[in-house]
Amino acid sequence: MKKDIVPTNEEQVMHEHDFIVSKTDTKGRLVYCNRIFIEYSGYTEEELIGKQHNVVRHPDMPRSAFALLWSTIKGGDEFFAYVKNMRKDGGFYWVLANVTPSYDESHNIVGYFSVRRKPLPEKVRVIEALYAQMLAAEKQAGASGAVAAGTEVLLDVINGTGKSYREFILSI
């Protein structure tokens, strides 16, 4: 379904009080999405449930950002990130995402819960520039070295601030 979508420059800006909520299994397949996720993504609930959450991944997002997300949440920690998502019609919308593991009674991770809200435009401009640098490094490195190259750019920027990743993202 996503292969046929051509990205456009049509941005849909989230409303101030909207919260996009979704739940996935441990493989990233959607098991729940709220009405607002459906609205912003442009897909129907039937088109989303059972699909990989990356159905809304925009090609402007570096692979290394998602590698960091997955390593963090699989390790049992919550993750914050600015994410550019692509709508079914090719448009896009930015979110500030919080992703947390969900646990069963034995404290095993059984899935992930994500809440996204409207990011401030000035913060999007900062992260958009960083993602462009990461994406350029990934493209230059080629498929086999892409994640490492993008991660190196991110870590260089973060290390220059003296903050942890989480502190950096929340302080932009």
Q: Which domains does the chain have, with CATH numbers?
A: 2-171 (3.30.450.20)
Whose CA is closest to 94, among 9, 13, 22?
13
pLDDT at 167: 96
pLDDT at 4: 84
What ranges make up the beta strands (E) of 43-146? 79-86, 92-103, 109-117
Mean pLDDT of the 85-100 span: 98
Identify each DSSP E strand in 29-151 by its residue range. 30-33, 79-86, 92-103, 109-117
Residue 152 has pLDDT above 70, yes or no: yes
Task: Write out pLDDT tens, residues 65-92.
Answer: 999 999 999 999 999 999 999 999 999 9
Q: Mean pLDDT of all residues in the chain?
A: 96
